[in-house]
Structures are given as C-alpha cells and as structure tokens.
Structure 1
Amino acid sequence: MRRLPRIVAAAASVLALTAAALAYPNPGRVTGDVVVHDPTMIRTSSNYVLYSTHGYLEARTSTDRITFTRAGSAFRTPPSWWRTYSSANDPWAPDISQQGGRYLMYYAVSSFGSNNSAIGLATSSTGQPGTWSDQGVVYATTTSNDHNAIDPNLLVDASGRWWLSFGSYWTGIRMIRLDPATGKRHSSDRTLYHLATRPDAPYAVEAPDIIRHGTYYYLFASYDRCCAGTSSTYKIKVGRSTSPTGPYTDRAGTPMLNGGGTTVLETHGAIIGPGGQSVMSDVDGDLLVYHYYDGNAGGTPKLGVNLIGWDSAGWPYVY
C-alpha cells in the first residue's frame, strides 16, 4: 500500500505528458511537393517561394501557401568554394529575407557530423529560383574550432543593426554582427556572442531563428536528434531577451546558456521530430515553418506550417 502514492503520482505524470502532447496542433494543410528539410519561406509580389536543404537549395513555389510545386533550385551551378566544405556540393538550411529592395539568402555548406563548415550569402532581385548570385563566404569554422558554422539566420534589430545567428552541437548557438552594406561580417565589432548551449553532451541544440515581438527578441531553436525518420527526437524550443545578443531565458527563467528553453512543438502522434524551423510574417500573422517526420509515411520528412499565437505573458504557441 505504501507504493500506491508513487504509482498514482507516476500515472498522473504520464497523463500530464500525454495531455501536453495532444495539445499540439497538427500542421496546417499543405499539398503537392512537400518533402523537405530545413524550410525557409518568403512571400514575394507574385508568389510564395520556399527553399530547403539539398539540391543546390531546393525551391518550391505556391500561390496560396497550400499547394507547393517543385521549381528547381536557388543555384543552377554550385560556386567553386563549396567543395572545400562539402565533397558532394550539398548546401543546407537556407534563410531567406528581403532587405532594402533585394533578397538575401544565407545558407550552410558542410557534411554530416563535421564542423569544417561555412556560411555563404547569395543575393537576388526577385527571390525566384535560378536568379541567385553567389557573394561568397560570410563565416567559416574548421575542426579546430569549438563551434559550427551552419544553420544561419539573419536578424535586423530595432536599431537597424544586422546580426547572424548560427550553430549546431559543439558549444551551441553563436552570433556575429554583420555590415548591412555588404551582408558580411562587421569590420569593427568582431565579438563572437554565445546565445545557447546545453550542459549535456553532445550539446544537441541547433538551427536558431530569432525574431522581434513587442519588447523582446525570441530565439527559436531545435533540440535533440534530427534526421532519423521515426526515431527522430527533434523538438522546437524558445527563449527570449531584451537584447539581440542575450542573455536568453525560458518561461521558467532558466538561461538558454544553461540548457533552458520552453517547448513550442514536439512529437505528437504521427507528427514526429518537428524542427529545422524558420519564422516568417504574413498577412494573417507569424508562421512557424518547419519539417517533421510523418509516422504514417514511414518517417518521410514533410513540410509543416502553423500560425503562431502569443499568450498574455508574451510567449509564443502554435495553433
């Protein structure tokens, strides 16, 4: 009989976790060519354009944000410098935005499990596939570094300063300041900022995406194991700060430099390992754009899109 309270407590804990998982929404309806990894999307004057990992940065277009059609790739031919970081010429994790009348795309070139990596920049006047011009390397790491130059994301702060966050495993999420005139690293501010990591090896946090909402900057990141189909444990967490360079803390006040992060989306039902996210603003609100592994399709990676809501305390949730 002494064990009964423990059993009841354990059962209550399981029920609470189950209820939390059931509370997550399924992805919004998307159709067509939606097999993607690490999606980033923007609305142009004529359509939505989505770019993703692999295939010289795979492109898909849509007129309604529902039906997506494969539309080639960002690049027609790979820049020569890619080979230094990827023998397969395989770029990853693009980040698209429109700044000052032109489109910018930061992206990574690397190989799985290595931090011999580089972040590149491409520009376009239209944002459409096949129109991108290579601007070269923005930031790179080697195997002697304690961080990894992949998964870039551009933030323009409230003062108009440009920042690039990036990182995967090793010591987690880092940030550098950029020069808006070039899109490259700032000549005078050479600080390598540290935004998030974990106390537990292998420090599985990556794919930062920072947005400004109200008086805060919100750092979304992917935690745990990606790219393993139905065995993936990826999840999306968030923290916030009043400064773009941190410190970022979660809802409980735990610093993201000490493993903190409030979960926004995780595995629920057949929606397995959501992550590789980006955030975009559209006419109907902020959107969380991500990939997940479809448990009803053998773990095939698919596109997920959900609207983001903001609670009374200023914390994001998806619906």
Structure 2
Amino acid sequence: MRTALLIGLAALASASVAGAQGAGNTLNSQLSGDLVVHDPVITREGDTYYVFSTVGKYVGIKTSTDLKTWKDAGSVFAEIPAWAKETVPGTEGIWAPDISYVNGEYRLYYSVSTFGSNRSAIGLATSKTLGSKAKWQDHGLVVMSTKEDDFNAIDPNFVVDAQGRHWLSLGSFWSGIKLFPLDPKTGKVAPGTEPYSIARRLAPAGGPAPVEAPFIIPHGGEYFLIASYDYCCKGVNSTYYTVVGRSKKITGPYLGRDGSEMMQGGGTILLRADLQESQRFRGPGHAGAFTDKDGTTYLAYHAYDKQADGRPTLRIAPLRWDAEGWPVAEY
C-alpha cells in the first residue's frame, strides 16, 4: 500500500542525501549521493549497478559503479502506459518495480493502482540492455485484481524454481501474498490461472492485514520468502519491518526459524528499525535481493531517515547464511 507520502517523492528524487551512518564499517555506513528511493530492486550489468524504484518519474533509476556512491539516471517510462490508465482509472504513478535477466533480456515488472484500492494491475516491460542504450518495450497487462478479488495485484517479484518453471509472487494487504505460475515465453499469467497463497496476516474483524512486498530467494535447494509486515509510507512513524520464512517447495509452506507459519503471520525477523537509542532509520522494508558475480547476495531496501526529514533512503545489506542455513542481513 502507498500513502500520500508518495505524492512528493518525485520531487525528492533529485535531492542528494548525506551518507547513511550505519553501525561500524557496514556497506550502509558508506552509502552516499542520491539515495532517495522507495521499493528498490537492484541488479548489475557490466561494471554498473542499477537500482529501480517507485521514486522518480515513472520508475526511477539510480546507478553506481561501486555499490556506494549513487546518482540519478532518469526513469524507465516517460508516461504511464495507455493500457494502465484504462485498466486502473485514476492511477497517477508506477509503483514497486522488479528487475530480472531472463532469456537474453531484462524483464521489468511494475505496478499501477490507487491508494487503498485493490483495483490494481501489474505490467511488463523488456529491454536487451540497461543504461543509456536501453530501449524499453512495454508488453502490457500481466495480471490484475478488482474489488471482486481477495488479493491486490501490486509488488511483483519474478523467480525461477529448480525445475526451470517461472513464477510471479505479488500482493499487498487483503488476503496476503500470492504466487502465480507464468508462461515462460510471454512472462504473463494465463487467464483463469489460480494463484497459490503463501503468506498472510491475521487481522481483527474488519481490520487491515498489513503484509506486502514479497521476494523469493532460491538458495541451497530451498526457497526463502521475504515479506514486509506492518505499515510503510509514514516517514519516521513507519512501523514496517521485514521477515523471512523458508520452504522446500516454492509454493510453500514457508516457516520461520521457530516453525511459525507465514500463512499465519509468522516468520523470522530479517530487518528491523534502528535501536531506540539512535532511532535514525525507521521502517526498513520492501527488500529485493541480488546475487553479484562473486556470489555475494545483497539486499536492497528502503528506510526512513530521521536526519533527512524522514526521506525514504536506499539501504543495502550483504546477506550471509548461518550454520542453520538462514539468511542474516549485515546492516
């Protein structure tokens, strides 16, 4: 879900944020430049790292050659695609992109919606390359939700399982996180396809169920589902935090370290806000993972910087895997 905070994010995108001060000599403590992002995902082509995010004019792009110093590199779209305006009347932006390299091209999944509504849609654009030579071709609708559905078609994440099957996880609030099988040739959901339910929160009667931003990481023959719980988009008052569960099957069930079920609001905390003593970076969430050439997996996410008027700020944490096979974020 997105709140009125996002209305002003495009204007903030050109602002330069001072280097984030993490504990010790973490990667986060060395970040500098234009760090204003929301819902970031990260990838690499050649010697350049790319972060795509909600911030910017219709999927903003940030680039870096060292993962530390970041600069603005424009946006994917010049305007909202016509099909998206027709499918989701009143939409004013493009949210929560996901980037993958598939069959010789980059696939960018993206969301269109309006605040508080599950009349939402996910689209797909592709390009053979990134950077200044990128030529994005929009392929239109992938999957949509309406008020008759029990899910919300935003926050996409593409993943390939051990059998080579293509999947798209998605979801925000409503009945939780869904997993759709994709046609590998088109990258789209076939009409009438029924999704798997893989995570949800148990809400009080008539109340909200805050779970969103899924991302699935295959590792060591298992699958790790990352999701964000509670509320983003409230600046330093955001209560977002990030959990993880693992499963032997991509369709679940996903369990936390303690055996708690993500279909029952369980999981293991992966990212939390700074300790109360510092209280600088609040609401860490909407994380996207990327494995670099040397095998290091990085988790890109946003948090709200109390020392920069609550701006949504890029954070990057290397992941290590502990003796029990669980990811630990070094942030």
TM-score under structure 2 normalisation?
0.86
Partners of 2:91 and 2:183 in 1: CA distance:
31
For 2:197, the equivalent position in structure 1 comes to 194
Specify which of 81, 92, 96 is matched with residue 93 of structure 1: 96
Give the secondary-structure state (helix, strand or coil) at the position aligned to 2:28. Answer: coil
Partner residue of 1:167? Answer: 171
8 A contact 1:62–1:69 mirrored in 2: yes
Out of 286, 300, 304, the position equivalent to 1:289 is 300
Cα RMSD over matched residues? 1.8
Kept in 1: contact 2:27–2:68 (CA 8 A): no
Match of 1:17 in 2: none
Distance 2:39 2:89 in 1: 18
Contact 1:155–1:163 under 8 Å retained in 2:
yes
Q: Which amino acid counterpart does residue 280 of structure 2 have in structure 1?
A: A
Give the equivalent residue in structure 1 for 2:327: 316
| Stretch of structure 1 that moved more, 147-156 or 127-136 | 127-136
- Cα deviation, 1:199-224, whole Å, max 9, x if unaligned, reads 12411000000010102100000110
Instruction: Provide the C-alpha distance between the structure 2 equivalents of 1:30 and 1:243, rounded to a whole number of angstroms.
Output: 36
Q: Of the two, which has the highest radius of gyration?
A: 1
**Matched residue, 1:32:** 33
Hey, what does 1:19 align to over in structure 2?
none
- Shift in Å at residue 191 of structure 1? 2.7
Please say if 1:125 is aligned against 2:128. yes
Q: TM-score, normalised by structure 1?
A: 0.89
2:19 aligned residue: none
Q: Indicate if the aligned counterparts of 2:270 and 2:328 stay in contact, CA closer than 8 A.
A: yes
Counterpart secondary structure, 1:208: strand
| Residue of structure 1 equivalent to 2:6 | none
Q: In structure 2, what residue type is equivalent to 1:233?
A: T
The structural deviation recorded for 1:190 is 2.2
Distance 1:88 1:169 in 2: 18
Task: Name the SS for the 1:81 alignment partner.
Answer: helix
1:150 aligns with 2:154: yes
Cα distance in 2 for residues equivalent to 1:261 and 1:273: 17
3-state SS of the aligned residue for 2:315? strand
Structure 1 runs of 4+ aligned residues shifted over 3 Å read: none
Q: Which stretch shifts more, 124-133 or 63-72?
A: 124-133
**Cα displacement string for residues 150-171 of structure 1 (whole angstroms, at most 9, x for unaligned residues):** 0000010111000000000001
Counterpart for residue 6 of structure 1: none
Aligned to 1:14: none
Aligned length: 296
Amino acid at match of 2:173: Y
Question: Letter of the aligned partner of 1:219 in structure 2?
Answer: L
1:28: Cα distance to partner?
Answer: 4.5
SS in 2 for 1:69: strand
Gaps of 5+ in 2: 1-22
Residues 1-319 of structure 1: matches in 2 within 5 Å?
27-54=28-55, 55-83=57-85, 84-85=87-88, 87-128=90-131, 131-186=135-190, 190-200=193-203, 201-268=207-274, 269-284=279-294, 285-319=296-330
> How has the CA–CA distance of structure 1 residues 87 and 128 changed in structure 2, closer, same or farther, with 3 Å as cutoff?
farther
Out of 261-270 and 121-130, give the one that drifted further.
Answer: 121-130
